[in-house]
Amino acid sequence: MSAATYTISRSTPVSRAAAVAGLILCLFLAAAPWWAGRADLRLMSEIFLYLSLASLWNLLAGYAGLVSVGQQAFVGFGGYMLFAFTMFLGVSPLLAIPIAGVLGAVVALPVAILIFRLRGAYFAIGTWVIAEVFRLVFAQVSDLGGGSGTSLPIDVVKSIAASRSARESTSYWLALGIAVLVIAVAFLFLRSRQGLALTAIRDNELAAKSLGIDIWKTKLVVYIVTAALTAATGALIFLQKLRISPDAAFSVNDWTAFVIFIVVIGGIGTLEGPIIGTIIFFALRETLADLGTIYLLVLGLVAIVVMLRAPKGLWGMLRAKVGIEFFPLARRVVKPSETQDGRHGK
């Protein structure tokens, strides 16, 4: 047979079914304000916000190999931009969120130029140092409460919508929207030419370089896109919290340690991993958080066990066994006679 009769397939029956089910589920979730209670809406919003943080960190660490422990810099920056723009310039919170995203990208550029000079463990520590610098800088801005922090004026919150239920629905849709946006951006990015370069870098940086991929530029694009979306997510997070202080905004535990836990548990370097990880994290938190320090001990134990038993995370283990993929990212060579089942043609 000549090579021309072979085709390349990316989707599989499972992934096509997942796409349809995913679309239906998105619509179902978008209708949540009509079927879920207020507490459920709030919890689901938080789940979506963590899901987007985890997906973004996964893109950064799992694909671009940029293991950052300083993403709280952009979460906090986004939160502070929301407060600054709404309180001092009277911008609507809904508009302040994309503004926070754009400004996140703007500050990410000089930060990237600085820390991309570092590699491996030095890069990780560098990102943390940058986040601490952000925290200390915002602690000096007395108009934003300095080290004490400040609350979002009630009028600003009420400007989103007049009625309480409309406000709650809006903030829920924003959280769902950002999670869908982040996953869509990650998916489309990975399927693009840039994404192919990224996957090559993930698998072997030296080989990728020898094939002529501009590693520095590819990583820079990922870093800046991630920073922008992380800042927008941060603005949304603090729109829910209503109060910001440097320690809360730049908390390494809340915005990086838990996020790394989610990604590592779920499966780093896959789009499905952060979703599984987020579900596990919230299932643990909702059942165990009242136990105080025991809760944190359990989290640590789970992380250790998963890292030892399933180093590629739960999704990685499942995929190795069953071979399914909901997000069609891999390419498969398909023989003309075998167009229906792409799974074994890999």
Residues forming contacts to other proteins in the complex (CB under 8 A) are: 14, 17-18, 21-22, 24-26, 28-29, 36-44, 46-47, 136, 139-140, 142, 145-154, 157, 164, 240-243, 245, 247-248, 251, 253-254, 272, 275-276, 279, 282-283, 286, 289-290, 292-293, 326
Beta bridge partners of 9: 332
Provide the total of helices (H) and of strands (E) in the chain, helices listed first.
Answer: 17, 4
Min CB(64)–other proteins separation in Å? 23
Running DSSP on this structure, what letter comes out for residue 333?
E
Of 51 and 201, CB closest to other proteins: 51
Min CB(248)–other proteins separation in Å? 5
Query: Which stretches does DSSP call E strand in the chain?
Result: 7-9, 150-151, 243-244, 332-334
Task: Tell me the residue type at 244.
Answer: I
Of 78 and 145, CB closest to other proteins: 145
Min CB(167)–other proteins separation in Å? 8
| Other CB atoms within 10 A of residue 299 CB | 18
Query: 296 with 312: CB under 8 angstroms?
Result: no
Of 128 and 326, CB closest to other proteins: 326
Q: Which of 99, 60, 64 is nearest to 80 (CA)?
A: 99
Q: Is 295 exposed, middle or buried (0-12, 13-18, 19+ CB in 10 A)?
A: middle
Min CB(222)–other proteins separation in Å? 23
Of 120 and 290, CB closest to other proteins: 290
Using N-to-C axis directions, what is the helix angle for 93-115 and 120-140, rounded to 10°?
A: 130
Cα–Cα dist 65/142, whole Å: 37
Of 127 and 245, CB closest to other proteins: 245
3-state secondary structure of 328: coil
3-state secondary structure of 226: helix
Min CB(105)–other proteins separation in Å? 25
3-state secondary structure of 44: helix
What the block records as the tokens of 303 is 């992380």
Of 108 and 178, CB closest to other proteins: 178
Min CB(316)–other proteins separation in Å? 14
Cα–Cα dist 297/300, whole Å: 5
3-state secondary structure of 197: helix
Of 147 and 345, CB closest to other proteins: 147
Of 117 and 164, CB closest to other proteins: 164
Residue appearing with tokens 């990224």: 198
Min CB(33)–other proteins separation in Å? 13
Min CB(154)–other proteins separation in Å? 6
What the block records as the tokens of 8 is 């390349």
